[in-house]
Structure 1
Amino acid sequence: MSTISTKLTKLLGLRTPLVSAPMAGASGGALAAHVSQGGALGFIAYGYQSVDMLRSEVEMARSLLQIHPQSPLPIGIGYLGWQLEKPNTAAHELLSIALDNNVQAVWLSFGEELQRWIKFIRDSERKPGDTKIFVQVTSVEEALVAFNEWKADVIVAQGIEAGGHGSSTAAPLFTLVSEILSVIPKDGPPVLATGGLVNGSHLASLLALGASGIVLGTRFLLSPESLYSASQRQALISARTGSSVRTMAFDYARNTLGWPRGIDGRGLRNNTVVDFENGLDIDDLRRKYLEGVKANDPDRIVIWAGAGVGLMDKVQPAKEIVEEIHGECVAHLQTAASSLL
């Protein structure tokens, strides 16, 4: 299979300019490993789990990839900045898991002190520059800070269409990427696009726009390697365009508050969202949510989903998803090239 060459693939030695998003509660070692096996880059997410659980997921990825403990591990780990910044959090220990395992990349997002974590990573690396730093941004202003002040190795532009958490005021993805590319020098870091993306035509379109690759989240939730349950996957398959909404309902229901100002989540609209919108008492909302978790009830539990959810219709292994998107992208690029006079 041919390689698609971009700044991202050259930086990380990938065959496909594709990344699986670090999704808390969904992106474990199995998903990261199988995405990387497909020629893309898979991420493990650190969200709300323990230090030991994160170590366990990293070890799972290493085992599946059959990588020696002292060898570089071709996956990434994503960290929520605001979780690292909570009092009494073992932030340095959590970040050291990435460094001790010599992972290929660390992804940082949603924090007030990201520069602090970037400095810790760079000061602690075995070999300076080995661990690439991805910084997620939702505006041109954030992108310029990530480029000029933090010297990010990769900038991830997240549009309003993204599933999971993001800025409630972000621009549509194509507008945001265009704006960021207009201010980042051509010899600057790779700019990746994320938000509502599903297939190879989306990858081809963003490459044509000037992005160096894309990040997919919701599409990989439908892989058996994700940590989502069968009922959550079925809900995603049954969803249609317009089924996902931006809301804080699930954060109130789960008591996962603490996100930076202006951040909310995009998930499938269900009874938890309806009750929240109707002003149900928060204690009752949480009680019903916990009952839903015990019953694995998709009408109550959180099912994060991007705006492109209506374009997905099957469960598919993560490696196969990567290979399919790669093939679709190549076909679209070849068709576009043949249209040139």
Structure 2
Amino acid sequence: MAGASGGSLAAQVTLGGGFGFLGAGYETIEKHRSELSIARSILKVDAQAPLPIGVGYLGWLLDDPKNKGQELLSIALENRVQAIWLSFGNDLEKWIQLIRNTESNREVKEKTKIFIVVSSVQEALVAANKWKADVIVAQGTEAGGHGSTSRTPLLTLVSSILAAIPQDCPPIVAAGGLVNGGHLASLLTLGASGAVFGTRFLLSPESQYTDVQRQALITASTSDSVRTMAFDYARNTLGWPRGIDGRGLHNSTVEDFEKGVDVDVVRSRYHEGAKRNDPDRIVIWAGAGVGMMDKIQPAKEIVEEIHRECTEILRAAATLLSEE
């Protein structure tokens, strides 16, 4: 969740019993160090101890020399974060190898868990068999933010991957449009080892979204969440690998793009809107489950609520089975 999840949100999710990630995204070196420091402070973790959060990186940004990808990644490894999330790159294997090489040179031998995002069975097989990923993130078309244009629904994707990979392969966690404990329960019974929640945590005071963006999420319906390249053209963030677009709230920027308005005009209107923090122009990433969210809650409470709902539903299901 680049631009949404910083050190505060990641730390509070971990404190709640989940495992929090911060999104490196387009951060500067200084900003990246600062967010990791914030997380360490909230978690009250000694400077030399492992940091129980993860950091997510966009592969195509790591590949761009202007973005100092290797230095960004090195900062996280120096902080001994417990996981690295890699997605949307043309050469993720290079970065996986860099992580493993860094680990081998440490005085204290510890393995950083590598999460790889996939959107097809073939990608999952490569991540498991060739790259030796520690965790495979199966991302369905319902996911907010960027994802595959293949449009594969989450339940179909998870089922297909579980059927294709050997039982001794890495755990599969599901991502895409998830907002409550019922969603988590359904995926656990399907065979997933866990689930990833993104949009739900945008409605927490710890997220980096503005109050205007949060209010737009609260009032949005499910049909307002659409897949589009409009915001990438508007912001000129066009380095994504082929076959990737984004899911966010439909607004005038999307309308202009779909109508074929000149790109320079779309960009000008977007940047003018950004100055005013206008929700009808700026990007507000949101998954397909956005219509089911209606309140702002602390991140720690969200984790606890999802866990409680999931437990209640699984117990109820077990009771039904025991009555047969």
Q: TM-score range by the shorter chain?
A: over 0.9
Deviates more, 1:154-163 or 1:43-52: 43-52
Could you say which residue in structure 2 is the equivalent of 1:124? 102
1:17-36 pair list within 5 angstroms: 23-36=1-14
Cα distance in structure 1, aligned partners of 2:70 and 2:251? 38
1:70-89 pair list within 5 angstroms: 70-89=48-67
Could you say which residue in structure 2 is the equivalent of 1:221? 202
Question: Residue 268 of structure 1: which of 225, 234, 249 is its match?
Answer: 249
Could you say which residue in structure 2 is the equivalent of 1:319? 300
Deviates more, 1:144-153 or 1:183-192: 183-192
Cα distance in structure 1, aligned partners of 2:110 and 2:237? 34
Aligned structure 1 segments of 4 or more residues deviating by more than 2 angstroms: 126-130
- The count of corresponding residues between Structure 1 and Structure 2 is 319
What letter is aligned with 2:214? R
**Alpha-carbon contact 1:105-1:131 (below 8 Å) kept:** yes
Question: Residue 291 of structure 2: which of 290, 304, 310 is its match?
Answer: 310
Could you say which residue in structure 2 is the equivalent of 1:187? 168
Per-residue CA deviation, residues 151-189 of structure 1 (Å, 9 max, x unaligned), is 000000000111100001141000000000011222221
What letter is aligned with 1:34? Q
1:84-99 pair list within 5 angstroms: 84-99=62-77
Q: CA deviation at 1:281?
A: 1.2
Please tell me the root mean square deviation across aligned C-alpha atoms, in Å.
0.9
Change (3 A) 1:89 1:229: closer
Q: Secondary structure at the match of 1:155?
A: strand
Q: Secondary structure at the match of 2:282?
A: coil
Could you say which residue in structure 2 is the equivalent of 1:10? none
Cα distance in structure 1, aligned partners of 2:221 and 2:240? 28
Tell me, yes or no, if structure 1 residue 200 matches structure 2 residue 181.
Answer: yes
Could you say which residue in structure 2 is the equivalent of 1:251? 232
- TM-score after normalising by structure 2: 0.97
- Structure 2 runs not aligned, ≥5 long: none
- Structure 1 runs not aligned, ≥5 long: 1-22
Cα distance in structure 2, aligned partners of 1:136 and 1:173? 13
What letter is aligned with 1:275? D
Could you say which residue in structure 1 is the equivalent of 2:222? 241
Deviates more, 1:279-288 or 1:218-227: 279-288
Per-residue CA deviation, residues 265-290 of structure 1 (Å, 9 max, x unaligned), is 00000000001111111111111111
Q: Secondary structure at the match of 2:223?
A: coil
Question: Residue 143 of structure 2: which of 156, 159, 162 is its match?
Answer: 162
Per-residue CA deviation, residues 271-329 of structure 1 (Å, 9 max, x unaligned), is 00001111111111111111111111100000001011110000111000000000000
Could you say which residue in structure 2 is the equivalent of 1:45? 23
**Alpha-carbon contact 1:135-1:152 (below 8 Å) kept:** yes
What letter is aligned with 1:165? H
Cα distance in structure 2, aligned partners of 1:123 and 1:168? 33
